[in-house]
Amino acid sequence: MAVASVRRAERPTPILGRRPVPLVIDLDGTLLRTDLLLEGAVSLLRQNLLMLFAMLLWLPRGRAYFKRKVAERAVLDIATMPANAALLAHIEAERAQGREIVLATAADELMALKVMQAFPVFDRVVASDGVKNLKGAAKAAQLATLYPQGFDYAGNAAADLPVWARAQNIIVVEAPRGVARAARALGKPVQEFPAASRLRALAKGLRLHQWAKNGLVFLPLLIGGKAGEPAAWGLAAAAFLALGLVASASYLLNDLLDLPHDRAHWSKRERPLASGRLPLPAGIAATILGLAGGLAVALAAGPAVLVGVLAYLALTLTYSAWLKRVPMLDALTLGSLFTLRIAVGVAAVSVAWSPWLLTFSMFLFTSLSFAKRHTELRGAAKRGRSGKLSGRGYQSADEPVVLAFGIAAGLASVVIFILYLANEAFRHAVLAAPLALWVFPMVLVLFMGRVWLLAGRDELHDDPVAFAVKDRPSLALAGIAGLAFGIAAFGLPQGFLAGWGL
């Protein structure tokens, strides 16, 4: 069977003279900053996890057959896929000069035709047909047969080297350095479209700034009377690292599962995976390594820490797969994830459980979660989008309810912390200076007031935690709170007290 090839109706050539050789464009990683086969596989798993077993049955019948089956069943929105804007501009300029533009891809024909419909710059599509996989040498031979007069080729991977060897001119699009070096070594004219730093994109995708949340694991150590024990600090640090690795991997996994919604979102479409700056294979590999590394560190910190981290992971996955689309419950789940961090800290350093502290955490972070939803609803309304929030269960009419619940939860957290001080903190001898904790309710009121005030002004970042780590007043309040906790745990230096005649 011949490899699939589809041509548009002929169009007139706007220039006179000899027509230039066709410009052939690769699809995955070149025209689109993604891989349609992986996109399709993730789409199937998003619909039904049991499709994994079906895909395992398709694989032994060959890569082309596997691609065809995925293409037949996957639901992909090609229009929202991240395209290489610079390359597209080059293609359009060349097409205006009368060049034939060809999409040649190892992706299945069914997917390639959808791309042809979404990007009308292409005159012809050459793709895999369910029997033959059009990749590497097979693609090179097919193009040499179709265009004996020659062609120029734009690609991005090592598999494109045989095609570049047959091409007249080489176009290297955001390729790894080794691939670009090998392409230049072919001794032909080379045009390059350089890639942005993928390491920077990976760091952004891992949400390393979110590791600040994991600082909650040190809270039980400070208020539980073990602040002076180096071994306790080591265990808490291990719990911090384990949660950080698992949380970063969970963020990437959530982004993988939420790709269609992120690409339709006004700000989330700039996330590394949604924008294509972080390739899907790299995102998947980082997810696996992060989960494995985090669970290994948790096990080293102790069985109780491992159980806590596994509970955190299970709740995160449940949230990503289902709970984030359930109004109100989604915010409560996010509050629970913060509270689990404190529970992991309790398990790591083996201090007594504090129901007051855990309840305080639940209400505080549920309030911040509502602030995030409130900001998203305001942003959607501001951009003229009515109806449901993409990927969530909220509607624009829910904004007043979200606002009320968010502020109420924030004020409740202040009241609960005061009850914690009165009923627990001041009755235990584990703290050196518990009266210093009275600073915290005042700091909390100021912080929550600032968050909701800026939310009402549309000046709050989507994520209040990301906002807090960059906002100077919030950082100043955090410093005051940290100083108060330090004084509560260790007391004031003797020299300081003597200087005041105490």
Tens of pLDDT, residues 11-42 = 545 444 557 899 999 999 999 999 999 999 98
Q: What is the dihedral of CA 108, 109, 113, 114, to 10 degrees?
A: -30
CA distance to 204, 319, 344, 405, 469, per residue, from 466 (Å): 12, 20, 22, 21, 6
pLDDT value of position 458: 83
Return all residues near 63 (Cβ < 8 A) that are at least 6 apart: 133
Angle between helices 109-118 and 36-47 in degrees, nearest 10 = 100
Residues of the chain under the 50 pLDDT cut: 1, 12, 14-16, 496-502
Kindly state the tokens that stand for 326.
């359930």
- Contact status, residue 210 vs residue 247, Cβ threshold 8 Å: yes
Q: Specify the 3-state DSSP secondary structure of 130.
A: coil
How far is C-alpha 104 from the chain's CA centre? Answer: 30
Q: Specify the residue for token string 């004219």.
A: 189
Kindly state the helix (H) or strand (E) to which residue 24 belongs, with its residue range. Answer: strand 23-25
**Distance between CA 314 and CA 477 in Å, rounded?**
33
- Give the integer Cα–Cα distance in Å for 304 and 333: 21
Rg (alpha carbons) of the chain, rounded to whole number: 28
What tokens were used for 30? 């070149």
Q: What is residue 500's predicted lDDT score, i.e. its pLDDT?
A: 47
Q: Give the global pTM.
A: 0.78
The answer to whether 319 and 387 are in contact (CB under 8 A) is no
Q: Which residues contact 167 (CB under 8 A, 6 or more apart)?
A: 24, 150, 151, 152, 153, 188
Which residues make Cβ contacts (< 8 Å) with residue 78, sequence separation at least 6?
114, 115, 117, 118
Contact 374, 403 (CB under 8 A): yes
- Within 10 angstroms of residue 386's Cβ, the number of other Cβ atoms is 9
- Residue labelled with tokens 């027509």: 19
CB 340 within 8 A of CB 311: yes
Q: Is the distance from CB of 336 to CB of 357 less than 8 angstroms?
A: no
- Give the distance between the most distant pair of CA atoms in the chain: 98
In 34-189, the DSSP E strands lie at 101-108, 124-128, 152-155, 169-173
Determine contact, residues 463/372, Cβ cutoff 8 Å: yes
Closest-CA residue to 190 (of 210, 164, 166):
164
Q: For helices 439-456 and 472-490, what crossing angle results, to 10°?
A: 160
Q: What is the pLDDT of residue 387?
A: 57
Beta strands in 109-202 (DSSP E): 124-128, 152-155, 169-173, 190-193
Looking at residue 5, what is its pLDDT? 65
CA nearest neighbour of 166 among 182, 185, 191, 147: 147
Given the structure tokens 């091409």, which residue do they identify? 167
* Angstrom distance (rounded) from CA 202 to CA 184: 27
> Scanning the structure block, which residue is given the tokens 């289902």?
322
Q: Is the dihedral of CA 43, 378, 250, 338 positive or negative?
A: negative
Sequence-ordered list of residues with C-beta below 8 angstroms from that of 447, at least 6 positions apart, any chain: 468, 474, 477
Among residues 147, 141, 172, which one has the least CA distance to residue 7? 147
pLDDT score for 176:
92
CA dist 347 → 127, 215, 218, 223, 317 (Å): 55, 15, 11, 14, 22
* DSSP E strand stretches across 181-294: 190-193
